[in-house]
Structure 1
């Protein structure tokens, strides 16, 4: 007999676990389906050397339990992947979440059944479940891009994708290693692998801005201070543009004396990591302010890289800082001073093919024992469109989003009743501390579900008008920024043939939360809600 549930959540990463804990605590029968053999989402898969969060550990953690906040002891300012995964497992065990998670269960199809106002979710192995609501917590960076280099199947050595790193330890000792890609994964793993490999060759298409992680052990005194003021810190993050645990400057980079500006940027460089982009309020809004920050970073790169030719190749130019998500590194630029590290600029000398023993560029053959593809993700929509999701009238989500993703508040989609997306396109998502944004949306959904239960609502659907106006608002806010000046995964440029539209909401965490609160206060304006007697139930 098919199990009937209140909520099915797809994905057992940070968002999926939080949704399970919250909805189950409301008395809703909730089940999480996870495709992998373990929980953790992106932190389960991205096990590459050097993998580390770019948000401070104390902020990249759950806020729902003060007891959890006090008992967990972070060891570093910016936690590594193993420590984050240990935290996720601790949370799952502490709150007894595993009993409502089905591992090795990939959702292949979800169909909305109008007569019963419910979703039928089918797994790849033939099992199925029915639920009143479907919550997609699949992540924004969880579907790796496929590589299509000619001859890539002929390579006789080891091939590794950074986004699906082997569970067993990879030994680079005495090996010739290639890394293709210099986004966050490539930047983080380069200095670690360079320290182990016989020789490392990094293939770069576009030089990337990167800020030092400024990582350090967390002292007992620092841990005690954070925990004593955790409530204030959480509220500060919630009321910030980015969801980070510091107050950004309210001044323009253009309105302060040069010496003071340099001191501010120096302090941000040595402490804020990803938050460097908020050292002044207009770095991501004004080209002149952005160029001040960009030139500061270029100067820092120049100090780190000795060889003038390599230095120039590693120096990002031609796009504003922060319009591609900046990386956070621990010794990336310095690694190119090592005699066993080579940089290949594939914008100048493209990869022609993968050969039996390595990589052939337009000018040279390189021999390798290991090739690592750090080539990124089909961001924002890749994991949402991977399964077949069928809404009202047989409309698929892929058809609905043919010209690009459209949502209301980044949460609801017209034509797909009672389906909700966590940190989806049209929400702050990857322009924010994603964990904080996830918790904000889940708590808001919990209120919505309570409201629906109290009023006997069985069907909740975003209106076409609300969806259209929200997409327009997202685009208007994006035009106020510099993001549209650079092709990136924010604009859908990371995948050939992907619609070129701006994906996240750039209005900030604080402003977005206020919109959510206002929507709820106004009776969930923009959603149509039907009781059982009006939902054509069979």
Structure 2
């Protein structure tokens, strides 16, 4: 099937197109320019930053430590930017990515305010034809999608949203100019990682805050010390150590499961390990304690009960609040675990009310506010939707992507989500992606660690194809099938697949159920990717 094109639009001919200008997109643009390709990046937003451009809601900050949420391709780049705290807030992270773009002179090859609506592959010439929302047609050999795993927000979740006479804002589409919440009656819908950051940040300034809680979360108190010249000099001196370390750990952090086997420790020794990690105030409590909690229900219960005990103490053992806010029907770590700063204490404030959406689900939005199934209308001035994303797959399926023979990725993934190592898809030649399903970047990795490794793998694969005179790269059906089978075998040994969460696509009606993220560990994933490259990409047909 010939690619769709608009005969009245000018045609831009390129060697490669990168979609997205976040952590992965910026690096991918840089790497493909180094190869000497005529490459351009297209970004829907008006600036660089990716998730740190769009997610500017109150309280937004990352929960990977600043010393490892970094680019590793340049020691000078690492040393020159000096974060001000362990977990910087959104404005600082956005500034950092703008600084990187300027330092590498990337802006001249980025088209801002340009959304790619369709990408059709032409079998006869082995090239992609892309059309932007603005009417530009692009002819390119390679298409690299760097759009992030959480970039397709679920905006229209409730009946009647358009009838609301106040303001409705999705956290992932927060206005650049901000939203004045002072003295307002505000509703926050959703208590995942994003909702928690919003709630703990705005509670002191709003007149009334109603939090609509459906799925309570386990959480870890964040310890966020300031960084000065000395602290950063210490990290800079460890650049090569940290760079090597993060590539081989389970989740791409500088910590790993080093506590030893659960069964070899007494209850008192386990408590010491858990308490130490709890006090560290990072995700190490989740990703560096005992891996058995992901496989063994009895271990999961013990670790979960440790966290529940901590949460009950902070809530003053209030029965109603404990029932509302402490999970009991899934284990610690099988959902995304947020870091927080005083979140639970928010519910002890006089101006805050938690609404139990398990008992009384949201029925619809009405002009005055939110109506629950008991008929009550919760009157508010502003509704903040922290209701998540069509994770992993949504960024790709919201584009009209058509591969060989006109096959539709949206249609195929509506039945079953499949990839080859999360970087290519059989039937879609010369289409590469980062942060896509069936790779650790879909959920279980410090994002810069895995995104950079994927960008480097994609770049090396394209370089290999060019060096050997090949124009087309596509995973074989057999290799994709073997990767999906391996992915599922690993996933099915964990408790993650027994829990409804966005990890499993459970938050999107009709989405095929499969663990979106590869759970075999970042180090193991990178070894397999490296082996493919070292052997000349046997799982990928080149012609």
Report the TM range for the smaller structure's normalisation: over 0.9
Shift of 1:272: 4.8
SS in 1 for 2:503: coil
Which of 51, 63, 78 is matched with 2:72 structurally? 63
Q: Which residue of 2 aligns with 1:411?
A: 423
State the alpha-carbon separation in 2 of the partners of residues 503 and 281 from structure 1. Answer: 19
State the alpha-carbon separation in 2 of the partners of residues 525 and 55 from structure 1. Answer: 35
State the alpha-carbon separation in 1 of the partners of residues 114 and 407 from structure 2. Answer: 24
Q: Which residue of 1 aligns with 2:249?
A: 240
| TM-score, with length taken from structure 2 | 0.95
SS in 2 for 1:282: helix
Q: Does 1:79 align with 2:88?
A: yes
Q: Which residue of 2 aligns with 1:333?
A: 344
Q: Does 1:112 align with 2:121?
A: yes
State the alpha-carbon separation in 2 of the partners of residues 335 and 459 from structure 1. Answer: 55
1:317-359 deviation per Cα after TM superposition (whole angstroms, max 9, x unaligned): 1111111111111111111111111101011012222222212
SS in 2 for 1:499: coil
Q: Which residue of 2 aligns with 1:493?
A: 506
Q: Which residue of 1 aligns with 2:220?
A: 211
Kindly indicate whether the alpha-carbon contact (under 8 Å) linking 1:253 and 1:283 is maintained by their aligned counterparts in 2.
no
Kindly indicate whether the alpha-carbon contact (under 8 Å) linking 2:212 and 2:355 is maintained by their aligned counterparts in 1.
yes
Q: Which residue of 2 aligns with 1:297?
A: 307
Shift of 1:308: 2.6
State the alpha-carbon separation in 1 of the partners of residues 160 and 207 from structure 2. Answer: 25
State the alpha-carbon separation in 2 of the partners of residues 374 and 117 from structure 1. Answer: 41
Which of 441, 444, 451 is matched with 2:457 structurally? 444
Q: Does 1:174 align with 2:183?
A: yes
SS in 2 for 1:458: coil
SS in 1 for 2:118: strand
Q: What is the correspondence of 1:349-388 to structure 2 with a 5 Å cutoff? A: 349-363=360-374, 364-388=376-400
Q: Which residue of 2 aligns with 1:268?
A: 277
State the alpha-carbon separation in 2 of the partners of residues 148 and 481 from structure 1. Answer: 30
Over aligned residue pairs, what C-alpha RMSD do you find? 1.3
Shift of 1:316: 0.7
Kindly indicate whether the alpha-carbon contact (under 8 Å) linking 1:236 and 1:247 is maintained by their aligned counterparts in 2.
no
Which of 320, 339, 347 is matched with 2:331 structurally? 320
SS in 1 for 2:378: strand
Q: Which residue of 2 aligns with 1:285?
A: 295
State the alpha-carbon separation in 1 of the partners of residues 426 and 29 from structure 2. Answer: 24
Shift of 1:385: 0.5
Kindly indicate whether the alpha-carbon contact (under 8 Å) linking 2:274 and 2:289 is maintained by their aligned counterparts in 1.
yes
Q: Which residue of 2 aligns with 1:535?
A: none
SS in 1 for 2:345: helix
Kindly indicate whether the alpha-carbon contact (under 8 Å) linking 2:423 and 2:433 is maintained by their aligned counterparts in 1.
yes
Q: Which residue of 1 aligns with 2:161?
A: 152
Shift of 1:250: 4.9
Which of 153, 162, 172 is matched with 1:163 structurally? 172
Q: Which residue of 1 aligns with 2:6?
A: none
Q: Which residue of 1 aligns with 2:405?
A: 393
SS in 2 for 1:511: helix
Number of residue pairs aligned between Structure 1 and Structure 2: 530
Shift of 1:407: 0.9
Q: Does 1:129 align with 2:121?
A: no
Q: What is the correspondence of 1:12-31 to structure 2 with a 5 Å cutoff? A: 12-31=21-40
Kindly indicate whether the alpha-carbon contact (under 8 Å) linking 2:12 and 2:136 is maintained by their aligned counterparts in 1.
no
Q: Which residue of 2 aligns with 1:423?
A: 435
SS in 1 for 2:462: helix
SS in 2 for 1:505: coil
Q: Does 1:474 align with 2:487?
A: yes
State the alpha-carbon separation in 2 of the partners of residues 337 and 245 from structure 1. Answer: 36
Q: Which residue of 1 aligns with 2:149?
A: 140
Q: Which residue of 1 aligns with 2:7?
A: none
Q: Which residue of 2 aligns with 1:533?
A: none
Kindly indicate whether the alpha-carbon contact (under 8 Å) linking 2:250 and 2:256 is maintained by their aligned counterparts in 1.
no
Q: Does 1:311 align with 2:322?
A: yes
SS in 1 for 2:53: helix
1:396-432 deviation per Cα after TM superposition (whole angstroms, max 9, x unaligned): 1112323221111111111111111112111111111
Shift of 1:57: 1.1
State the alpha-carbon separation in 1 of the partners of residues 355 and 12 from structure 2. Answer: 55
Q: Which residue of 2 aligns with 1:454?
A: 467
Kindly indicate whether the alpha-carbon contact (under 8 Å) linking 2:39 and 2:109 is maintained by their aligned counterparts in 1.
yes
User: Which structure 1 segments of 5+ residues have no match?
Assistant: 531-538
State the alpha-carbon separation in 2 of the partners of residues 118 and 152 from structure 1. Answer: 42
User: Which structure 2 segments of 5+ residues have no match?
Assistant: 1-9
State the alpha-carbon separation in 2 of the partners of residues 345 and 253 from structure 1. Answer: 36
Q: Does 1:504 align with 2:504?
A: no
SS in 1 for 2:504: coil
1:242-266 deviation per Cα after TM superposition (whole angstroms, max 9, x unaligned): 0011233252333212222212111
State the alpha-carbon separation in 2 of the partners of residues 73 and 440 from structure 1. Answer: 23
State the alpha-carbon separation in 1 of the partners of residues 412 and 371 from structure 2. Answer: 41
State the alpha-carbon separation in 2 of the partners of residues 14 and 524 from structure 1. Answer: 26
Larger mean CA deviation between 286-295 and 379-388 belongs to 286-295
Larger mean CA deviation between 349-358 and 118-127 belongs to 349-358
SS in 1 for 2:461: helix
Provide closer, same or farther for how the CA distance between residues 473 and 520 of structure 1 changes in structure 2, counting only shifts above 3 A: same
SS in 2 for 1:192: helix
Kindly indicate whether the alpha-carbon contact (under 8 Å) linking 1:249 and 1:281 is maintained by their aligned counterparts in 2.
no
Kindly indicate whether the alpha-carbon contact (under 8 Å) linking 2:259 and 2:289 is maintained by their aligned counterparts in 1.
no
Q: Which residue of 2 aligns with 1:529?
A: 542
State the alpha-carbon separation in 2 of the partners of residues 151 and 397 from structure 1. Answer: 31
State the alpha-carbon separation in 2 of the partners of residues 248 and 386 from structure 1. Answer: 37
State the alpha-carbon separation in 2 of the partners of residues 161 and 419 from structure 1. Answer: 30
